[in-house]
Every structure is written in C-alpha cells, then in structure tokens.
Amino acid sequence: MAETEPAPLLGESTPPPPPSALFHRSLQQQPAKVISAKGIYLTLDTGRVVIDACGGAAVASLGHGNEEVIQAVAEQMKSGVSYVHSLTYTTDAAEELARHLIDGPQGGGRFGLTRAYFVGSGSEAMDSALKLARQYFFELGQRGRTKLVARRQAFHGSTVGAMNVSSNVPRKVPYANFQLDNISWVSPAYAYQYSNWQRGETEEEFAQKLVSSLDNHFQRIGPDKVIAFVAEPLVGATSGCTPAPRGYFKGVREVCDKYSILLILDEVMCGMGRTGTMFAFEQEGIVPDIVTIAKGLGGGYAPIAGMLVHQKVVEVVKKGTSSFNHGHTYQAHPVACAATLAVQRIIARDGMIDNCARMGRVLHALLVETFAQAKYVGDIRGRGLFWGLEFVQDKALRNSFPPGVLFAARFQAIAFELGVAIYPGAGTYNGTRGDHAIVAPPYNITPDELIKIVDTLKLAYDRLEKEIDDSASE
C-alpha cells in the first residue's frame, strides 16, 4: 500500500508551492491559473469565475469549450494524421480550410484573394507576407525594391521580421540592434490624437493629409525602391481599436497602385469577423494584395494564423520560380486546421458575423451611455465587437496620464477583481504615454451578457477614478 503524506500538525504552516518552471512574461507576478472554461466564463483554481470580455487578446471568437470543435480535433487525431510535413504532404483538413476561406460564403475569393497559407502565429504570418512581397518583385526582376513602409503606433508581431515593421516602442527597446535600415514609418491614422482637432480639421481633411504624406514619403525614398506598405485596418493592441478616418484606405490603395507598391493589411487582431464583416478591409471599400489573419481565425482552439494572397501575386510567382521560398515545420498543421475549419463552419452556419455586427451596435451604445461623460474617458472607438476606451487626464486637452499612474493596468486589475477580464494597453499616444482598454467578447455574446460586462467595468472605473482623485488631493 502506498504511503500517504502525514497531515500537518496543528499550527504548522503549509510550505509554499515551488516556483513555476515556466518562463512567464513576468518573473515577479504569477498569472491566474485557469482550470476550466465554458462559453464566456473562465474558472480559476481559487474557485472564482471570470467573464472573458476580451477573448484573451481578441482571440476567442466562439467562446470556450465548444463541443463541436473538440469533436473535430478528436476525429482528426484519431485518424492518426496529427502531423505531416507540408513540403511533401497535404491533408483534407488543410485543403478544406483553405477552400472555405477562399470560396466559402464570406471568403476572400470575392476579392481576388485566391490562395491561403497557414502558419502558427500572427507574427509568422507577417514574416511570410513580407517575404512573399519581396519575392514578388524578385520574380519580376525588380530587385532594387528593398524598402518597407509602415505606420508609427502599430504592431505587426514579435518575431524579428515582424518586429522590424512594428513601432510599438516598449516592445522594441531591448532589441534596437535588430532593427533593419530598410524600414521607415509614416504618421498613424489616429484622429483622436493626431488630427488637428483644435482647428476643426474634418475627418476627410485628416485622411487626405495622411494620404498626401504617404505619397510624399514614397517619393522621398524613391517609389521604385519600395516593396510594400503595411497597415492594420483597425489598430489593435498598440492604440486600442483605432479606425482610420473615412477615405484614408481608398487613398492609400490609389497611391500604392500609382507606384506599383504592394499593400499588406494586418488583420491578425481586427479580422475574421471581429469588426462585423469577415474582413475589416471590406468596410474600407478596398482590397489588399496580401492580408494576414490569426486570433479569431481559430478562436484559440489551436495555434493557427495565415495569409491570404491576391491572384496577381500568385500569378507572378507561378510564372517565375513557381515556388514560395519559405516554409515552417508546423505549416498547415492538420489538427490546427481541423479545429479551425470547425470554428469557421460554426461561425458561418450560425450567422455569427452578422451577430457580431448587431451586438457591436449594442456594445457601442452601452459604452457611450456609460462612459461618454466619465471624467477620464477621452475616446470610445471601434467596430463590431472590437471596442477601445482611451483614458486621458484632461479631456479638454486630450492629455494622457503620466506613465507612472498606470491607469489602464489598474483599471484592468480592478475589473478582474470584480470578475471581468479586459485587455489593457499603455503607450497609446506615442509609445510612452497614454492608456487604453479593449473589450472584445465572443461573437455569440448576448445583450444581457454585454450589460453585465459594461456594468462591471463602470464599477471598476468609478473605483479607480476615486483613487486617482483622492491621491491628487493629498
């Protein structure tokens, strides 16, 4: 018979658990441990239940614990085909997922996006897009095109390649020596802080100013040296669900076409239905040459991301070397593709993108009703179920809090304590100053659940506002 550990003597303290062997993001703070999840609810090892109002990082498009997806994963693994190398083999899971994303009811084929390429993360997808864009011009014999242009206050991934075209300042500080010299940036399409609002600049005027600035930037570099312009249709984690001003992307598309520069849109966070249409670019009335997707694509049921490629790019490669000079070991992973195909079929079958648009209108109205007059809420912005609150110290001047106040982090901590998880961000304005929080619940959220989320966030905000005011009066 196995021996059992003796019970601790009365008054004897239980030894603390050993430190985690995981290299967590913070070596000072242990993350909360989740032991089960269902729908929008996460259950922690303490017994607390938390509403996942941000989908982790705008990932959980379908919520947690969906039985159909679990079954699809089990069936793929039971087939024995859990992994094959994509250089030699393909699978039904990968082929059917690609076909669904291209030719499905809301697929990219409507826009001339005819090929899908699957990898493991949004960062890998962006690296793939950058390499494909370079290869496109290599195949055309335009090998002098070596420059990439992106926007400030944007994030495109954590790998070295994707980080190079990102300008999320805090995430790049230790790695400045990795920065390539063929990347340059233009101003963010961020009207709340970057338009000349004090002088009454209109949205359309701001858009035209940005487009003209991009054109001038290309001319200074030499348009025949530029590979691509990279942008998020709605900026995600860096500045908090920031949409571009009306007409901006149409102008961007025209300028890129003028110089035969490729347009790469990063929809890793804002795409795959999150903004109320399958692709965020649909609402801009344009089509990219390459679009990167992730997060809501697989809903978190498996690590997956990808890029969808326009036929014009495919044809150039096909007529040239006829081979994309890039690959990953876990590319088009069968289990990840099976899980993702199940997620996407459920979303299409149940009309969840339309529900995302409807519930987005409900969430927007709730946020405006609740926070429009709040002392420190400067802007409420977003689309679909992708909304951000920007916090400012002075609403009249739109001045951000000093970084040491940690407004967004404290707001997130209080909300979490009250039972709602949101996604906070700092450096919103310029990489060092500014605070925001993102609300991005699953597409199948209900009005009652949204009311509960916003009511809880108001409690958290009121508590924090009082803390800030009390400390200022001391």
pLDDT (tens digit per residue) in 89-101: 999 999 999 999 9
In 3D, which of 151, 178, 146 has the Cα closest to residue 165? 151
pLDDT the model gives residue 19: 86
pLDDT the model gives residue 2: 45
Class of 68-349 in CATH: alpha beta
Pairwise CA distance, residues 451 & 366, whole Å: 7
- Which residues lie closer than 8 Å to 285 by C-beta, 6 or more apart? 249, 250
Q: Is the pLDDT of residue 3 over 50?
A: no
The residue ranges of every structural domain in the chain are 34-65+352-473, 68-349
Interval 407-436: pLDDT, tens = 999 999 999 999 999 999 999 999 999 999
Class of 34-65+352-473 in CATH: alpha beta
**pTM for the predicted model, two decimal places:** 0.95
pLDDT the model gives residue 295: 98
Indicate the SS3 state at residue 236.
Answer: coil
pLDDT the model gives residue 278: 98
Indicate the SS3 state at residue 447.
Answer: helix
- The identity of residue 267, as a single letter, is E
Tokens of 186: 């233009």
Helices (DSSP H) in 331-377: which residue ranges?
A: 334-349, 352-371
Pairwise CA distance, residues 329 & 400, whole Å: 44
Report, as an integer, the average pLDDT of 379-385. 98
C-alpha distances in angstroms, 357 versus 112, 176, 381, 445? 24, 40, 14, 11
Question: Percent helix, strand and coil across the chain, each rounded to 5?
Answer: 40, 20, 40
